[in-house]
Amino acid sequence: MTDDLQEARNDMVLKQLLHRGIRNPRVLDAMRKVPRERFLPPSQRDRAYADQALPVDCQQTISQPYIVALMTEAMELDGEQRVLEVGTGTGYQTAILAELAREVVTIERHAALSEQAARVLNELGYRNIEARVGDGTLGCPERAPFDAVMVTAAASRCPPALFEQLREGGVLVIPLGGRDVQTLEAVCKVGGAPESESLSACRFVPLIGEQGWH
Ligand code: SAH
């Protein structure tokens, strides 16, 4: 893909990702490819490759590119996985996942965000994404088990339904902590039990739902 923002994307990958230790070549390629500006409201487009989260519609945010890359890298996707994403938001992270997995089921509680994300993802040609509207803390039992699960909103504990829908040996990435600051955790299912690894401090909007904040 070549366009006038390709250089900005390459620069973002070098300075924000490679220099901070993101190494997975497939993740770096996906981050070089997906046009983040397409997922932003017009007022934010000139900041598409800035090193920060940005405000989007419905008082939500699009994650900082580094956090998107870090969360994606932790899932160790090789193109074969079926992935569940909770918190579609703009759909930017969904696109990165769709580049690296076989299939992505993504759930968003705001119908307006889900529809907008689905429209952009469709325009960009993604055909391996199923966008759903609903309470993602309950997951998607009818499509379970998933090889990997990503939650892009913050919870105080891992929603049990999501861990249950993760296959044995799979990884679930989620920001856990308080409403204001959290730690990004990669939770692996080993012998049916969780084994967690902390990746980074982070700040996400709250996960609101039956097994999240009320
Ligand atoms: N990954 C997104 C950023 C998501 S922000 C991106 O790249 O743009 C977190 C999103 O989670 C918000 O859109 C919010 O509405 C959504 N959310 C919060 N609680 C949710 C729930 N229980 N189910 C589904 N989506 C939820």
- Which residues sit opposite 201 in a β-bridge? 183
What is the CB < 6 Å shell around ligand 1?
Answer: 60-63, 86-87, 89-90, 92-93, 107-110, 113, 135-137, 152-153, 205, 207-209, 212
pLDDT tens-digit profile of 154-189?
999 999 999 999 999 999 999 999 999 999 999 999
> In the structure, what pLDDT confidence band is assigned to residue 207 with cuts at 50, 70 and 90?
very high
Confidence band, pLDDT 50/70/90 cuts, at residue 107:
very high
| Sequence spans of domains, the chain | 3-202
Q: Residue 54 has what pLDDT?
A: 96
Is this structure's pTM higher than 0.95? yes
Atom of ligand 1 nearest to the CA of 212: 22
Looking at ligand 1, which residue's alpha carbon is closest to its atom 4?
89
Q: Dump pLDDT digits (tens) for 111-131.
A: 999 999 999 999 999 999 999
Q: What percent of the chain has pLDDT over 90?
A: 97
Closest ligand 1 atom number to CA of residue 85: 1
Catalytic site includes residue 43: no
Q: Which pLDDT does position 4 carry in this prediction?
A: 81
The DSSP code sequence of the chain is ---TTHHHHHHHIIIIIGGGT---HHHHHHHHHS-GGGGS-GGGGGGTTSSS-EE-GGG-EEPPHHHHHHHHHHT---S--EEEEE--TTSHHHHHHHHHSSEEEEEES-HHHHHHHHHHHHHTT--SEEEEES-GGG--GGG--EEEEEE-SBBSS--HHHHHTEEEEEEEEEEEE-SS-EEEEEEEEETTEEEEEEEEEE---B-BSTTSB-
Q: Please state, rounded to an integer, the average pLDDT across all residues of the chain.
A: 97
CATH code of domain 3-202 = 3.40.50.150
pLDDT for res 74: 98
Q: How far is the CA of 108 from the centre of ligand 1 (A)?
A: 6
> According to the model, what pLDDT value does residue 2 have?
55
For 41-53, the pLDDT digits (tens) are 999 999 999 999 9
- Cα(129) to ligand 1 centroid in Å equals 16
